[in-house]
Structures are given as structure tokens and as C-alpha cells.
Amino acid sequence: MKGSILVISGPSGSGKSTLMHEMMKRIDDTYFSISTTTREKREGEIEGKDYLYISKDEFRQGIEEGNFLEWARVHDNYYGTSLKPILKELNLGKMVVFDIDVQGHKIAKEKFGNIITSVFLTTPSQQVLKDRLIQRGTDSSESIEKRLNNAISEMTRVKEYNYILINDYFEKTLEDLISIAHASKNRVASLNTEQFISSWANM
Ligand code: ADP
Ligand code: 5GP
């Protein structure tokens, strides 16, 4: 098999990073695409594990040098996916997991087409989203307001995704995400057909 890509998008605070990390512990041969961002590091986040944190000038330079598979401006900061590590992991046959916004998903789809499976994650309501952002305790009230406003416009793009998950009960959502991830690894588009048939015939 060649690699596959699993994209998870959804409003900030919907549970993407918590669910993704739990899902990846339970599935072999996965690789989390570490994005580069210009936003401040949150308490508890680790450089090189959650994000690579750089300045806006460095980010612009990265764009000029063509380092990003995709990039977008979200909540007044820049976020981007580096191309090189993704290609390397896909060549190793890994399932590469992206936590990117709706703009990034559109571009990734244009570039990688049918090896992408996409999931839109959200909460049962906007109020629940607000409660979770407050309870997470990592954002100022101004930043929470920005994230809640952005959530509405992100929700209007849900039709561009293969699956929607409403993250009410964590364990149930995790189970559903794991099922989708397993299925996404078996997409025919990820199959190296010639090699598969040749080894099948010679067994
Ligand atoms: P995102 O990565 O989408 O911004 P997080 O993974 O940081 O979201 O989750 C936001 C907050 O919601 C975290 O404090 C997380 O522990 C909590 N959370 C995630 N899923 C649930 C759930 N199903 N029920 C209650 N709290 C949740
Ligand atoms: P946060 O600041 O809450 O970590 O992320 C804010 C938003 O940026 C989320 O919607 C997240 O999915 C998105 N994001 C994170 N990394 C990338 C990236 O590399 N590219 C794009 N397009 N969006 C990203």
C-alpha cells in the first residue's frame, strides 16, 4: 500500500487534538503532520510535537520558498503544512493525519485527491463549544470570541467533507473516528495495483 491521508477539521475547541492523539495511540503506522504556526504557544503545548512555532517573517519566507503543501490565515495567525515530511511518510506507506482548517482541506484535496478521507468534527451546539473553550482555559475571552465567530463560517463548509462527527460523548466519538481511520487506510486509491497483483500472482 502507498500511504493515505486523514484530514480532521472543525471549530477550535471541538476536540480535534484530544481525539486525534487518542486515535493514533490505537492505530499502527500513523504519522501526525506537525503544522507550523505563528500563534503563541499555549500552556502545555510542546514545540515539535504540537506545532513548530515561528515568526510571521519566517512564515512568509517559507511561503516564498515553496515549503508548504498548503497554508492559511486563521484567527489572525498563519498555519501551514510542510510538504517534505508528508511525502516521506506517504512513501513509507503511513496514514498521515492532518489537523487543518477548511481552507487547508480544500487545497489538500486539490493536490492529493482520492487518497484523502476527511472528517468534520463539531460539538452538539455552539454553546457547548463555548463551554469547552472556557473550560480548556487556554484562550483569552477575545480569542474565544474570535473562535466562536469563525466556527459559524467553518460549519457552512461541512458538505465538503466525507464524514461528520458530533463530539458529544468522547468515547463514542473516538470509536467512530477509529472506524473511519481503519477504513481510510484501505482505500483502493492507496493501492499500488501493479505491485499488488504481481505479488498476489507469485504467491
Ligand atoms: P481542538 O483541538 O479542536 O481545538 P481540544 O482537543 O483542545 O480541541 O478540545 C477542547 C477541550 O474540550 C479540551 O479541554 C478537551 O479535553 C475537551 N473535550 C474534548 N472532547 C470532549 C467531550 N466529548 N466532552 C467533554 N469535553 C471534551
Ligand atoms: P489552534 O490555534 O486552535 O491550534 O488551531 C486553529 C485552527 O487552525 C484549527 O482550525 C486548526 O485545524 C487549524 N490549523 C492547524 N494547523 C493548520 C495547518 O497547517 N493548515 C491549516 N490550513 N490550518 C491549520
**pLDDT tens by residue, 124-147:** 999 999 999 999 999 999 999 999
Cα–ligand 2 centroid distance for 167 (angstroms): 18
pLDDT of residue 113: 86
pLDDT band of residue 58 (cuts 50, 70, 90) is very high
How far apart are the C-alpha atoms of 167 and 152, rounded to whole Å?
Answer: 16
pLDDT of residue 75: 85
Q: Average of pLDDT values for 106-121?
A: 95
**pLDDT tens by residue, 24-39:** 999 999 999 999 999 9
**pLDDT tens by residue, 61-84:** 999 999 999 999 998 899 999 999
The cell numbers describing 202, all together, are: 507469485
**pLDDT tens by residue, 159-187:** 999 999 999 999 999 999 999 999 998 88
pLDDT of residue 188: 87
Closest CA to 171 of 23, 25, 24, 13: 23
12 lines ligand 2 (CB under 6 A): yes
Q: Which residues, 6+ apart, have CB-to-CB distance to 93 below 8 Å?
A: 1, 2, 3, 29
pLDDT of residue 2: 83
Ligand nearest to C-alpha 132: 1
**Residue 1 clears pLDDT 80, i.e. is over it:** no
Closest CA to 85 of 94, 74, 75: 94
pLDDT of residue 114: 85
pLDDT of residue 31: 96
**Domains in the chain, start-ordered, CATH in brackets?**
4-33+94-200 (3.40.50.300)
Q: Average of pLDDT values for 7-27?
A: 97
The cell numbers describing 4, all together, are: 493515505
The cell numbers describing 47, all together, are: 514545540
pLDDT of residue 191: 87
- Determine which residue's CA is closest to atom 4 belonging to ligand 2: 12
130 lines ligand 2 (CB under 6 A): no
What's the predicted TM-score (pTM) here? 0.95
Quote the strand ranges of 66-124, DSSP E: 68-74, 77-82, 95-99, 116-122
